[in-house]
Amino acid sequence: MLNFDEQRFLRIQSGAVALRHRLDDVIAACLADGAENIFFLGTGGAAILMQPAAQLLQRLSGFPTFIDMPAEIVITGSANLTKKSIVVIPSLSGTTKESVALLAKVKEIGATVLTLVGHEETPLGKGGDHVFINFAEDDTSCESFYLQSLFIALSIMRHRSEIANYEQIIGELEGLPQLLLAVKHSYEQKAEAFARILAGSHYHIITGAGNVWPEAFYYGMCILEEMQWIRTRPVHASDFFHGTLELIEKDVSIILFKGEDQLRPLADRVQNFASSYTDKLAVLDTADFPLPGISPEVRGLVSPIVLATVLERISAHLEVIRNHPLATRRYYKRVAY
């Protein structure tokens, strides 16, 4: 595969899976100690990657779950953020400015802080009450963060007796790293063609629904905009028909991500409409990828992870096609802001 280290990928994703035992122990202790809610408070891309887990809890658990902007919470606070809160702060670098400021505020409140980081010798790597370290880099961090946050959500549901098949789900997730590698291999021959679609327009509407909408948002903002300087309009599939549809013409590029959770019909609706009005509709569907041993329920849970692993292959080809390395920046961490 182009510019890809298989063993590094497996090591990082297996590392995320290996954290699930301690994550479960910490969540159990927090709940036993009277935790009343959970906040997922990441910044930028890391925040977006927490959304599927937060969504899962909000829809299937009675445990109050919040997701907010650290930069805003630092200024305004939240009536629900108390010493009885669990706060999850993800940051690959461990140095994200807004998240470091949040950590200080949350410490004053007395909430229990779980930090998910790639580097220990950092403010967030040292500052959490419970620190979970799994080294990753930009091309491997999505799957790792998705998995860690999913384990947190499943653990909460387990200890609140809100999930009957926890062990079955966990058993299937433990085999996911190898399955993801197989997905990459199976898609490699198609990745360049999809990358050429992305390189072929200066502007894309990028959309999805359910737990793959965050991956659509993330890919548009963090990869196409930040790393490739390609303009995008990320829009949720349910909002597509409240404004965005009027922008659709024959030559307007639409990138549609489809997952396998209950919200898939919202993506079908966009596909049915858009295919009649543009000849630049590209669909990336997790249902196209075999995942032996993964049940339909778990396929629905891991749809954003599968998309992330496929999109990494597309990005690897995109940076070559455009002669624009993913690490190239004009402003991000290069100038004061």
Q: Mind listing the pLDDT tens digit for each residue in 2-53?
A: 999 999 999 999 999 999 999 999 999 999 999 999 999 999 999 999 999 9
Pair 11, 156 in one domain: yes
End position of a domain, from candidates 173, 193, 219: 173
Pair 135, 216 in one domain: no
Pair 243, 194 in one domain: yes
Residue at 204 is within a domain: yes
Paired tokens of 332: 């991000």
**231 CB-side CA count, 13 A:** 5
Instruction: Report the distance separating Cα 306 and Cα 324, nearest Å.
Output: 25
End position of a domain, from candidates 148, 173, 198: 173
Tally DSSP H helices, then E strands, for the chain: 13, 9
Residue at 266 is within a domain: yes
Instruction: Report the distance separating Cα 110 and Cα 203, nearest Å.
Output: 45
pLDDT of residue 111: 98
pLDDT of residue 174: 97
E strands along the chain, which residues?
Answer: 37-40, 65-67, 85-91, 112-117, 130-133, 203-208, 231-236, 253-258, 281-285
Q: What letter does residue 1 receive in the DSSP assignment?
A: -
Paired tokens of 18: 């290996």
% of residues, the chain, pLDDT over 90: 98
Pair 193, 296 in one domain: yes
- The domain tally of the chain equals 2
Pair 35, 144 in one domain: yes
Pair 200, 136 in one domain: no
pLDDT of residue 306: 98
Residue at 330 is within a domain: no
Other C-beta atoms closer than 10 Å to the C-beta of 86 total 25
Instruction: Look up the pTM and report it.
Output: 0.97
pLDDT tens-digit profile of 150-164? 999 999 999 999 999
Domain that holds residue 191: 177-321
Helix 166-174 / helix 141-159 crossing angle, nearest 10 deg: 160
Whether the pLDDT of residue 333 is over 90: the answer is no
Q: Which of 178, 204, 179 is nearest to 318 (CA)?
A: 204
% of residues, the chain, pLDDT over 70: 100
Q: Which of 85, 77, 105, 1 is nearest to 36 (CA)?
A: 85
Q: What are phi and psi of 201, to 5 degrees?
A: -135, 150
Q: Are strands 203-208 and 231-236 parallel, antiparallel or unpaired?
A: parallel
Pair 207, 241 in one domain: yes
Q: Which of 203, 247, 260 is nearest to 52 (CA)?
A: 260
